[in-house]
Structure 1
Amino acid sequence: MSLAVTLSRAQEGVTAPQVVVEVHLSGGLPSTSIVGLPDSAVREARDRVRVAIQNTAFEYPNRRVTVNLAPAELPKDGGRFDLAIALGILAAGSQVPRERLDDCEFLGELALSGELRAVPGILPALIRARRAGRRIVVPRANAAEAALVGEADVLLADSLAEVCAWLGGHGSLSAPASATDFYDLPTCGPDMRDVRGQYQARRVLEIAAAGRHHLLMIGPPGTGKTMLAERLPGILPPMTESEALESCAIRSLSSEAIDPACWRRRPFRAPHHTASGVALVGGGSTPRPGEISLAHNGVLFLDELPEFSRHVLEVLREPLESGQIVISRAARQSTFPAEFQLIAAMNPCPCGYAGDPTHDCRCTPDQVQRYRARISGPLLDRIDLCVDVPRVPITHLTAPRGPHDDDSATVRRRVINAREKALLRAGQPNAELSVVNLERDCALPQAEREWLEAAVEKLGASARAYHRVLRVARTIADLEGGAGCVEQHHLAEALHYRRF
């Protein structure tokens, strides 16, 4: 029989659907055709595969070769199918045994010498192959990503010849090392001990970490806003394995390097204020994730928030609520997760020194108003916490560290304890509480409820702001330790951190 079937994986967002590679050898003039909606890179595989087979000391069939990539309606791109096509051709010509192809998937781009090159976006394919219970063979150059997928039957190969020898029972393929063998969270990232003073900002950052609340910091230049934001991932709880794999899979699609020593640390993305809307949400003819998806399960830091284009900021509104972004193109539609924590920073005015006792502000009231109006009300309404970050006196910078200058490990322990309370109570962080769970977990006595209603009505807050104040108060109560219910001082502190 001159028909052989191998399995591979396509790249479509973070789903990596299975592709069946069917190879048929027939009579007629020698030729090779690839069908099944291939792009130009896949069509060019016929030349790469032919030369690679010949340089590996195998015989390329002197017959008509037809390669079908099924399902036919799924677009295929890149060189990831080269290895599966080459093995299918060799199996159809009885040069390698077909039996060992049945329970295996193959990914890899072939060089003309027969060596295997790395494939971008391979992690989603590894995850899906593990769920399907199949063995998968990938290039050794992808070993770092393969090491992240625990309990998966992954084999590494350097060349087509090595894979063929293994299929014929004349050699072996090695498995990647486990990333958990050298994972070390404490050595990753800057420490909170580096921050001097700014005790209120440190407090708000801890609340934001415990409840996964969005945060806006306002202050003059050089007061430590960026420094604080960069230390947030170090006090967040470590990601679970499934969360870490989701985040790494998105980075894999963007061809970004993954450090196995920090693979379970929350991602931190800080795009420049000149970034376009497409850079934030993703796009392209073949949809790729943007910054908000690369920050999935982590932190998206927007410094100089009013300097971003108004249109760019407005694209954040939908993913802030839904936790995902859908990119539609004429030929395909891709959905990328985008459950990120927004941390933003801005100056109080265009010159940056409004309210600073050491510098005179040169801005007129109209200039200040126009500057702050660049952030729309609907976007500001979705930010739970807002804190002023004033200038730190020089004496604080040179004084010995005090008892309140906790390091990241100490703060992280408090954050993890508070987060665990929320997860045990509702199965989700406080910032994501539904209205039903909010009414159950933040039930207020009559006096506290009347006090909050009067305060919110006087401030002219929206219904969304009212619920967000309750969520922040719930987080403050969790951080307090013994507090089982939300009390008035928790509500007062939550209102203090809210901009209406």
Structure 2
Amino acid sequence: MYCKVMSAVLKGLKTEFVCVETDIQNGLPMLHMVGCLASEVKESGERIKAAAKNMGMGIPAKKIIVNLAPAWVRKSGAAFDLPIGVSILGALMEIPKENLENVLILGELGLDGSVRPMRGLLPMVLHAKTQGVKTCVIPHGNLKEGKMAEGMRLIGVSSLKETIEFLKEGRVPRHRTARKKEKKEKCIPDFSDIKGQRTLKRAAEVAVCGGHNMLMVGPPGAGKTMIAKRMAGILPKMGEQEKLEIMKIYSVLGLLDEMEGEEQRPFREVHHTITKAALIGGGIVPKPGELSLANGGILFLDELAEFQRGVLEVLRQPLEERQIRLVRNSGNYVFPADCIVVAATNACPCGNFPDLSACTCTPSQRRNYFGRISQPFLSRIDICVEAPKIQFKDISADGQEETSALIRKRIEKAREIQEKRFGNKSMVNAKMGIKEIERFCIMDGEAKDCLKEAYTALGLTPRLYHKILRVARTIADLKGDEKIKRIQIREALGYRVMEQRNWRE
């Protein structure tokens, strides 16, 4: 007796189809599973036996061999319980082969035969849709998640028995519709809450408009964290395809509830004690990290100088390539990292530098503190801006500050210019390569002379030269100018305070 069932496994964010084959013969009673299996898949045999017995569908004492192909793909996770159980019972009950064609089966089994929800279902169902699979049998608890893949026939099952009845007789399970949980509206902080700090606000607007990474340096209480938390509120709204790509990452980590119903882009804030694996992803079976969770949104690194230097150094390549590549014996894993990195730091341990009258740190303490941030890392930050101490006249001033809605309106208008320029909605000025810079960053004569003078005076590198041009292009887009002018070059140079002031003095 033989039965074949289609299932799937995640390899990072990539889905691989797995063929679950079962052959039952007379012989020494055993249940033997092969096919490069992780420990949790090997243990599924005991769960399946107990689930079938408690559902009144006992497995006879025969020689049962289960093969999960292809053998070179590592199978991990508990989502193979249901397909293996269906494959065994299908061979015994002789489920018609045509009923199993183009049907993807996923789910974890409990000892009572119930089908439990699983992680990472969304990317599997989306992949199945692109490969022409017509029907997916999934846990009822994942039904809402699966419906994000429009056009796929989804069968939500709550037990092993319901699954067999559907596959053998075509009986679709009926369940009571659960009441929707009332979700509290998320309070989005607004830029109008911030008094003063016009330079910081302008830098934040430019950073979001062009997708530029940004660093703020200043004393405690200057509004650096407030600015960062409000930047997510001025990002353009997500498209449906972009939202699905972000949801796939959250699904793999079981964090889909955090993004459910959210129209705002991701904002992730990490503590300075974070590890490399938690930041960029990793593990025996690699999973995405915080950098990937911030994909399409903002990753905020507060107290940047307190991070371990090694943790910051692993960001250097992802900041350039907008993706993370991890190499393991089991294969290569690629995770998206297309986000805006916003960082904030004090200039010294006490936080008062460059105010020498208030700073209590010695020059060596300042050098050691800021020396934790390497120059190669800083050169990958497009906008570095100083956050001065807020004066009393600014914080006590009357009048309404500019709202996030007004700032977003200007950004969306500039993003439309970028979309027309590149012919791609996801392409922004920060992603321009050398050829795009030569083609689209055209300066007038005065702008070119200004940048030439600054290149020599500030000792700029070619990388910084190109970053200044990208930022200047974004500033020109906000103004609606086709050519980059001198004033826009000067503003872009003003966002390179790391080269103009020696913070390590």
Normalising by structure 2, what TM-score?
0.92
| One-letter amino acid of the structure 1 residue matched with residue 46 of structure 2 | D
Pairing 1:418–2:414 present: yes
Any idea what SS the aligned residue of 1:238 has?
coil
Shift of 1:337: 1.7
Shift of 1:273: 0.7
- The answer on whether the counterparts of 1:218 and 1:345 sit within 8 Å (CA) in structure 2 is yes
- The aligned residue for residue 91 of structure 1 is 90
| One-letter amino acid of the structure 2 residue matched with residue 166 of structure 1 | F
- The aligned residue for residue 385 of structure 2 is 387
Shift of 1:417: 1.2
- The aligned residue for residue 8 of structure 1 is 7
The equivalences for 1:112-261 within 5 A come to 112-134=111-133, 135-169=135-169, 171-173=171-173, 189-259=188-258, 261=260
Shift of 1:175: 11
Shift of 1:25: 1.0
- State the distance in 1 between where 2:493 and 2:43 align: 62
| One-letter amino acid of the structure 2 residue matched with residue 189 of structure 1 | I
- State the distance in 1 between where 2:491 and 2:276 align: 35
Shift of 1:332: 3.3
Deviations 1:242-279 (A, max 9, x none): 32222222222222243454445322222111112222
- The aligned residue for residue 18 of structure 2 is 19
- The aligned residue for residue 276 of structure 1 is 275
- State the distance in 1 between where 2:235 and 2:176 align: 29
Q: Rate the CA distance shift 1:160–1:227 in 2: closer, same or farther, 3 A.
A: same
Q: More displaced, 318-327 or 166-175?
A: 166-175
Any idea what SS the aligned residue of 2:264 has?
coil
Q: More displaced, 296-305 or 324-333?
A: 324-333
Pairing 1:478–2:474 present: no
Any idea what SS the aligned residue of 1:348 has?
coil
Shift of 1:401: 3.8
Shift of 1:488: 0.9
Q: Rate the CA distance shift 1:238–1:77 in 2: closer, same or farther, 3 A.
A: same
- The answer on whether the counterparts of 2:207 and 2:214 sit within 8 Å (CA) in structure 1 is yes
| One-letter amino acid of the structure 2 residue matched with residue 368 of structure 1 | R
Once superposed, which parts of structure 1, at least 4 consecutive aligned residues long, lie more than 6 Å away? Answer: 174-177
Q: Rate the CA distance shift 1:202–1:151 in 2: closer, same or farther, 3 A.
A: farther
- State the distance in 2 between where 1:18 and 1:265 align: 33
Q: More displaced, 393-402 or 331-340?
A: 393-402
- The aligned residue for residue 503 of structure 2 is none
Mark the runs of 5 or more structure 2 residues left unpaired by the alignment: 500-505
Any idea what SS the aligned residue of 1:289 has?
coil
Shift of 1:378: 0.8
Q: Rate the CA distance shift 1:185–1:152 in 2: closer, same or farther, 3 A.
A: farther
Deviations 1:306-347 (A, max 9, x none): 111111111010111112222222333322122221100001
Shift of 1:297: 1.9
- State the distance in 2 between where 1:167 and 1:237 align: 45
| One-letter amino acid of the structure 2 residue matched with residue 201 of structure 1 | L
Pairing 1:365–2:349 present: no
- The aligned residue for residue 339 of structure 1 is 338
- State the distance in 1 between where 2:334 and 2:36 align: 21
- The aligned residue for residue 293 of structure 1 is 292
The equivalences for 1:101-120 within 5 A come to 101-120=100-119
Shift of 1:424: 1.1
| One-letter amino acid of the structure 1 residue matched with residue 403 of structure 2 | D
Any idea what SS the aligned residue of 1:258 has?
helix
- The answer on whether the counterparts of 1:324 and 1:339 sit within 8 Å (CA) in structure 2 is yes
- State the distance in 2 between where 1:133 and 1:381 align: 46
- State the distance in 2 between where 1:471 and 1:451 align: 16
Shift of 1:43: 0.7
Q: Rate the CA distance shift 1:159–1:326 in 2: closer, same or farther, 3 A.
A: same
- The aligned residue for residue 63 of structure 1 is 62
Deviations 1:455-493 (A, max 9, x none): 222111000111111110110111113x22211111110
Shift of 1:176: 12
**Aligned partner (choices 477, 490, 493) of residue 495 of structure 1:** 493
- The answer on whether the counterparts of 1:31 and 1:63 sit within 8 Å (CA) in structure 2 is yes
- State the distance in 1 between where 2:151 and 2:326 align: 32
- The answer on whether the counterparts of 1:155 and 1:174 sit within 8 Å (CA) in structure 2 is no
| One-letter amino acid of the structure 1 residue matched with residue 155 of structure 2 | L
Any idea what SS the aligned residue of 1:239 has?
coil
Normalising by structure 1, what TM-score?
0.93
- State the distance in 1 between where 2:140 and 2:396 align: 51
Any idea what SS the aligned residue of 1:270 has?
strand
Q: Rate the CA distance shift 1:470–1:254 in 2: closer, same or farther, 3 A.
A: same
Any idea what SS the aligned residue of 1:93 has?
helix
Q: Rate the CA distance shift 1:401–1:470 in 2: closer, same or farther, 3 A.
A: same
- The answer on whether the counterparts of 1:145 and 1:258 sit within 8 Å (CA) in structure 2 is no
| One-letter amino acid of the structure 2 residue matched with residue 479 of structure 1 | L
Deviations 1:290-317 (A, max 9, x none): 2222222221111111111111111010
Using the aligned pairs only, state the percent identity.
Answer: 40
Q: How many residues matched? A: 492
Alignment RMSD, CA only?
2.4
- The aligned residue for residue 31 of structure 1 is 30
Mark the runs of 5 or more structure 1 residues left unpaired by the alignment: none
Q: More displaced, 161-170 or 286-295?
A: 161-170
- State the distance in 2 between where 1:329 and 1:221 align: 42
- State the distance in 2 between where 1:89 and 1:16 align: 24
- State the distance in 2 between where 1:479 and 1:71 align: 53
- State the distance in 1 between where 2:175 and 2:203 align: 45
Shift of 1:199: 1.5
- State the distance in 2 between where 1:240 and 1:185 align: 23
- The aligned residue for residue 49 of structure 1 is 48
- State the distance in 2 between where 1:49 and 1:439 align: 62
- The answer on whether the counterparts of 1:353 and 1:360 sit within 8 Å (CA) in structure 2 is yes
Deviations 1:103-128 (A, max 9, x none): 11011000011111111222221221
Shift of 1:174: 6.8
